[in-house]
Amino acid sequence: MDLEKVVCDCLGITNGMIKDAVDAGASTLEEVQEKTEAGTVCGACNEDIQHLVDFFVKERDN
């Protein structure tokens, strides 16, 4: 996974920033949105962010 890759173009939010939010305790798309504001402008990235959240939560909790 490329942590530098931008997932949310509106806000320039990268995969790594989603990972940081999950590592800081966020476990759902909504919690990641609260922490990072990712996906709160046009919403086009929310499906991708959801996949990332699922992936990083699994990694964190294993």
User: Could you list the residues that contact ligand FES (CB under 6 A)?
Assistant: 8-10, 39, 41-45
Cβ atoms of residues 48 and 7 within 8 Å = yes
Q: For residues 9 and 59, which CB has a smaller minimum distance to ligand FES in the complex?
A: 9
In whole angstroms, the minimum distance from the beta carbon of 13 to ligand FES comes to 7
Q: Is 3 or 61 the residue whose CB approaches ligand FES more closely?
A: 3
Q: How far is the CB of 47 from ligand FES (least distance, A)?
A: 10
